[in-house]
């Protein structure tokens, strides 16, 4: 069959469920993954014929897309900060907003924290709470090679994914299997603690797409309506005991609870609190510094 005919079938089957541009994206992601063909292949070879054997994984993936399964889970990988990451249903698929949080930390370390980074090449310590794929921890380790990076998660399956991704990207991170909602005792004190914890209230489910609700892990997404800052309260309490003086806490937050989360840091004596918007204009990132 002609590859362009397969593309037409994707649109016939999927356009009622997804925007046309997204269907195009799905198609080319799958073509690149299964056939090792570049995105512009049809512009160069409009009459390219695909064998029956090569067609099969494309049509199997199409069937999964019709069931709302995320394309990242279908191919078992995604990209984050230009790094390849393995993903499965045990972990959230990393979002672009989280890249912005990581870039903020890296930027700070190369500017305001440059002297600290230079002086502590051997012992600058960073902790990522709720690491999931390990995307934050691994990106920081890759971009801040002087740092000693720890990655904490309640899920052993998630930590296995994080370890796999660390090996894939040739970095070393220390995995910690703990529940941040319980009393967590670590010997280390950290220069930076970062977290993208669960923050979606149950009431916000109606705003979410089926591919998220049906496939991504609830454990990493949702919090009770009556206690939406559950994880932030535990992280702030932990940070007060485990950040070094003048250590920094970075958080990805629920845009609808930005003021409340900022007030939480203020009430716990964090200083130089800064709230930032993401590329979509939503209040999504928060930073505070522990007093010296």
Number of compact structural domains in the chain: 2
73 domain-assigned: no
Are both 88 and 44 inside the same structural domain? no
Domain holding 221: CATH number? 3.40.50.150
Residue among 230, 217, 223 nearest 204 (CA): 223
Are both 121 and 209 inside the same structural domain? yes
Higher pLDDT, 211 or 251: 251
Are both 30 and 159 inside the same structural domain? no
Residue among 206, 247, 198 nearest 224 (CA): 198
> Which domain-ending residue is among 19, 42, 67?
67
Query: 62-71, 124-133, 196-205: lowest mean pLDDT where?
Result: 196-205
- The domain containing residue 39 runs over which residues? 3-67
> Which domain-ending residue is among 48, 67, 86?
67
> Which domain-ending residue is among 46, 67, 88?
67
Contacts of 111 (CB under 8 A, 6+ apart): none
pLDDT for 182 equals 92
Residue 206 has pLDDT above 90, yes or no: no
Residue 117 has pLDDT above 90, yes or no: no
* pLDDT average, residue stretch 35-54: 90
Are both 171 and 260 inside the same structural domain? yes
d(CA 182, CA 160): 21
Residue 212 has pLDDT above 50, yes or no: yes
200 domain-assigned: yes
Residue 112 has pLDDT above 60, yes or no: no
pLDDT range class, residue 205, cuts 50, 70, 90: confident
Are both 196 and 107 inside the same structural domain? yes
Residue 144 has pLDDT above 60, yes or no: yes
Helix residue ranges per DSSP H, 156-209 = 156-168
Tell me the pLDDT tens digit for each residue of 225-240: 999 999 999 999 999 9
Taking a C-beta distance cutoff of 8 angstroms, is the pair 208, 63 a contact? no
């Amino acid at each position: 069959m002609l590859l362009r005919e397969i593309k037409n079938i994707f649109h016939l089957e999927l356009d009622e469920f997804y925007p046309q541009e997204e269907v195009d994206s799905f198609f080319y992601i799958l073509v690149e993954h299964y056939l090792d063909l570049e995105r512009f292949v049809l512009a160069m070879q409009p009459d390219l014929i695909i064998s029956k054997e090569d067609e099969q994984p494309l049509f199997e993936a199409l069937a999964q897309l019709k069931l709302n399964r995320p394309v990242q889970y279908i191919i078992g990988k995604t990209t984050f900060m230009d790094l390849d990451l393995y993903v499965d249903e045990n972990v959230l698929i990393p979002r672009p907003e989280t890249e912005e949080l990581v870039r903020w930390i890296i930027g700070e370390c190369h500017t305001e924290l440059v002297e600290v980074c230079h002086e502590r090449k051997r012992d600058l310590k960073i902790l990522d709470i709720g690491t999931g794929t390990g995307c934050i921890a691994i990106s920081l380790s890759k971009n801040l090679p002087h740092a000693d990076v720890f990655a904490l998660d309640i899920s052993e399956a998630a930590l296995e994914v994080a370890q796999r991704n660390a090996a894939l990207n040739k970095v070393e991170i220390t995995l910690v299997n703990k529940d941040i909602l319980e009393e967590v005792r670590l010997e280390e004190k950290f220069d930076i603690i970062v977290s993208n914890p669960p923050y979606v209230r149950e009431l916000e489910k109606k705003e979410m797409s089926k591919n998220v609700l049906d496939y991504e892990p609830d454990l990493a997404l949702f919090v009770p309506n009556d206690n939406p800052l559950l994880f932030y309260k535990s992280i702030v309490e932990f940070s007060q005991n485990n950040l070094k003086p003048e250590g920094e806490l970075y958080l990805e937050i629920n845009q609808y609870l930005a003021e409340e989360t900022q007030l939480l840091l203020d009430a716990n004596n964090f200083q130089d609190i800064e709230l930032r918007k993401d590329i979509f204009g939503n209040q999504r990132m928060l930073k505070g510094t522990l007093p010296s």
